[in-house]
Every structure is written in structure tokens, then in C-alpha cells.
Chain A
Amino acid sequence: DTGVSQDPRHKITKRGQNVTFRCDPISEHNRLYWYRQTLGQGPEFLTYFQNEAQLEKSRLLSDRFSAERPKGSFSTLEIQRTEQGDSAMYLCASSLEAAASEAFFGQGTRLTVV
């Protein structure tokens, strides 16, 4: 499968625990995006990378969230001290650098904080 893959697909965690998600983009894509989606809403931008550089981070993203893309390939999103409000679907997408390039999404990681 050469699409975007995310791991795990589902995660249940207790409030206060740390969680880490992984995203493997399409290999030739140098842009990688993280989004969060809750029921009835569109995907909400969290952050994006151009190769290994994190170029933008949403102002809505608290300091508990951090993302990395150390070698410009896979990326990780960590949430520290999870809260119930963090429960959502976390989507990763990748695209070519060219403006207005189609973004391909992974199947997402569904996080439930109990």
C-alpha cells in the first residue's frame, strides 16, 4: 500500500497520560499536515511540515501538543497530559510542494480520552 498510513488506528487513554501517533506519508511528498476532526466539523488544521521543517503551527494548538518530522519522512504527533477535550480523530495528510496540489489523507487515529 503506497498511500498515507497512520498508526495506531484507535487509541484509548486515561486522562493525564501521554500519547504519540505516527504518520507515514506518500514517499515522494514533501508536505505533511496534521489535522484534528470532531463529529460534525471539518478537519481543523494543527500543523504542517515542508520536508523536516515545521513551518506553521495553529494558534489553537496548546503547548501540550508537539509534532516532529525528523528526517523529512514519517512524522509523529505527541499529546502530553491528555484531556477529555482532546478526544477526536487525528488525520495526517501529505502532498507535493506545488501550490494547490491534492492532499492525500491517512485513515486517521481515533483518540478517546477517558
Chain B
Amino acid sequence: RKEVEQDPGPFNVPEGATVAFNCTYSNSASQSFFWYRQDCRKEPKLLMSVYSSGNEDGRFTAQLNRASQYISLLIRDSKLSDSATYLCVVPDYKLSFGAGTTVTVRA
């Protein structure tokens, strides 16, 4: 089993829609997680950190389910600028990345 697995997508949604996708992790000892955003041909940038049951930042909500070992990211009222690849990261010593979930928001 891979250390971090993500819904690959792509998710193609209209502006204003809500989109959600999951990331599963294998290390049950993991205590914290990151969601990074990566635009095409750019470097990853931190979107939000998840340390307890979840986190909310504006239109973005991350939830952590420790029992089932997954993290979800939900984007409400999606904007064209939300189009990107979203990377789930488990910060063990090496920062284990998922393959990413591609989201495209259309007008």
C-alpha cells in the first residue's frame, strides 16, 4: 500500500460548485497533515495544515478521520482560480506526497 493515496480526479466543476476529494494514508501514527496546491508547471505551495480533527480557511475545509485514516478537502463556491492540482502531504521525516488531485473549475 502506498504511504499516501489520493483521488486522482480530474474533477471538472462549474463556478460556484462545491467539490470534495479524499486522501488516505497508511501510517496510523501520523499526527498532522498538509494540503499543498500546485499550479501547472509551478512549485507546490502550502494551502492549509491539519493538526486535529480539521481546519477551515474561508472556502476551504479540511477534515481528518483518524479511524479510517483519511483526510478530505472541500472547496465551496469554487472559483476559476481554484483550478490546480491539490497535493496531500504526510509530514513524516521526508514529507510523503500523494500523486495529487486535479481540479478544473469552468466558467
A45 contacts B43, C-beta separation under 8 Å: no
Asked if B16 CB lies within 8 Å of chain A CBs, one says no
Expressed in whole angstroms, the minimum distance between the Cβ of B36 and any Cβ of chain A is 8
**Interface readout for A83-110 with B: 1 if CB under 8 Å, 0 if not?**
0000000010100000111111111100
Residues of chain B whose beta carbon lies under 8 Å from any beta carbon of chain A: 4, 6, 31-32, 34, 42-46, 49, 51, 87, 91, 93-100
A33, A40, A45, A106: the one contacting B99 at CB < 8 Å is: A40
A33, A41, A55: the one contacting B95 at CB < 8 Å is: A33
Given A48-B93, A100-B51, A100-B91, also A105-B43 (CB < 8 A)? yes
Chain A residue with minimal CB distance to B6? A42
A43 contacts B97, C-beta separation under 8 Å: yes
B94 contacts A45, C-beta separation under 8 Å: yes
Expressed in whole angstroms, the minimum distance between the Cβ of A49 and any Cβ of chain B is 11
Chain B residue with minimal CB distance to A92? B43
Question: 10 tightest A-B contacts by CB?
Answer: A42-B97, A105-B43, A100-B32, A42-B99, A45-B94, A100-B91, A43-B97, A42-B100, A102-B46, A107-B43
Q: Which residues of B contact A33 (CB under 8 A)?
A: 94-95
Residues of chain A whose beta carbon lies under 8 Å from any beta carbon of chain B: 33, 35, 40-45, 48, 55-56, 91, 93, 99-108
Known: A33-B95, A56-B93, A107-B42. 12 other contacts (CB 8 A): A42-B4, A48-B94, A56-B94, A91-B43, A93-B95, A99-B32, A99-B91, A100-B32, A100-B34, A102-B34, A102-B49, A103-B95
B93 contacts A55, C-beta separation under 8 Å: yes
Q: Which residues of A contact B46 (CB under 8 A)?
A: 102-104
Q: Which residues of B contact A41 (CB under 8 A)?
A: 99-100
Expressed in whole angstroms, the minimum distance between the Cβ of B70 and any Cβ of chain A is 16
